């Protein structure tokens, strides 16, 4: 019996690989991880129609605290664990992999496109990205400055920074919200890292046909409507002339 970890890509039900689809059709249980990301232009019903299988929604609690349900099924059956993007884009999935190894479960990994590669559309060289960071929604007593610190560190090394934006069941963070929070952090700091005249890139729906990429000053992009989610931010580091030419397309 096998646990299949399958990447779904970023856009819709058609982004799955042929290998991934064949594996799903041979599985008895299909789990869809539902909290680290979401497909942009599809529905559970469309996925089930394509797969010919019933999908079990795997929320954070099931994957992180009750993963034995998934693993126990995989000791007796073929089980598919579906991940939006690529399999190991989130550390949660590494934990599931390790737990399966501990139980001597056979594992097969089927990769796909993730946001970490789809940002190639922007035109910045992928190997010049530094540490990726996430911007959570601020709450009372919880206003982490980690994204600011990561941008600062990457810029000091001439590297680009990808800032992934928070996803909640009832809301998805926008470029505007992310910029507003980073400016709040800037007001508290003595360094001038994320200022209103910093040149940044705002992205929306990368991996889909109707993606949006805009390059401009913080104060300019803050006033732009990027449309439907998912959004992300990029703070460029030191630019090669070809990167400058590519960014010029998005001004």
CATH of domain 2-113: 3.40.1010.10
Report residue 79 as tokens. 């089980």
CATH 3.40.50.300 fits 116-248, yes or no: no
CATH 3.40.1010.10 intervals, the chain: 2-113
107-110 long-range Cβ contacts below 8 angstroms, 24+ apart? 107/2, 107/3, 107/4, 107/5, 108/2, 108/3, 108/4, 108/5, 108/23, 109/4, 109/5, 110/4, 110/5, 110/6, 110/7, 110/17, 110/19, 110/20, 110/23
Report residue 82 as tokens. 């579906």
Per-residue pLDDT 10s for the chain (251 aa) are 999 999 999 999 999 999 999 999 999 999 999 888 888 899 999 999 999 999 999 998 888 888 999 999 999 999 999 999 999 987 789 999 999 999 999 999 999 999 999 999 999 999 999 999 999 999 999 999 999 999 999 999 999 999 999 999 899 999 999 999 999 999 999 999 999 999 999 999 999 999 999 999 999 999 999 999 999 999 999 999 999 999 999 99
Query: Sheet containing 133-135: which strands, arranged edge to edge?
Result: 133-135, 161-165, 231-235, 199-204, 212-217
């Amino acid at each position: 019996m096998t646990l299949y970890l399958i990447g779904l890509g970023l856009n819709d039900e058609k982004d799955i690989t042929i290998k991934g689809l064949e594996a799903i059709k041979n599985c008895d249980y299909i789990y869809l991880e539902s909290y680290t990301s979401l497909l942009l232009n599809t529905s559970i019903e469309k996925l089930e129609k394509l797969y010919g299988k019933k999908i079990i929604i795997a929320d954070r609690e099931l994957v992180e605290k009750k993963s034995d349900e998934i693993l126990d099924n995989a000791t007796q059956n073929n089980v598919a664990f579906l991940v939006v993007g690529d399999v190991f884009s989130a550390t949660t999935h590494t934990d599931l992999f390790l737990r399966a190894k501990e139980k001597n479960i056979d594992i097969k990994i089927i990769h796909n496109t993730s946001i970490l590669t789809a940002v190639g559309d922007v035109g910045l060289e992928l190997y010049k990205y530094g540490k990726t960071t996430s911007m959570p929604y601020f709450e009372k007593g919880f206003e982490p400055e980690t994204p600011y610190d990561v941008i600062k560190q990457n810029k000091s090394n001439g590297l680009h920074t990808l800032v992934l934006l928070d996803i909640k069941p009832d809301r998805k963070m926008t470029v505007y919200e992310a910029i507003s929070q980073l400016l709040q952090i800037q007001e508290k700091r003595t360094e001038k890292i994320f200022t209103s005249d910093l040149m940044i890139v705002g992205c929306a729906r990368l991996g889909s046909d109707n993606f949006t990429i805009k390059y401009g000053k913080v104060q300019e992009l803050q006033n732009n409507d990027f449309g439907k989610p998912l959004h992300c931010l990029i703070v460029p580091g030191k630019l090669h002339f070809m990167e400058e030419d590519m960014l010029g397309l998005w001004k």
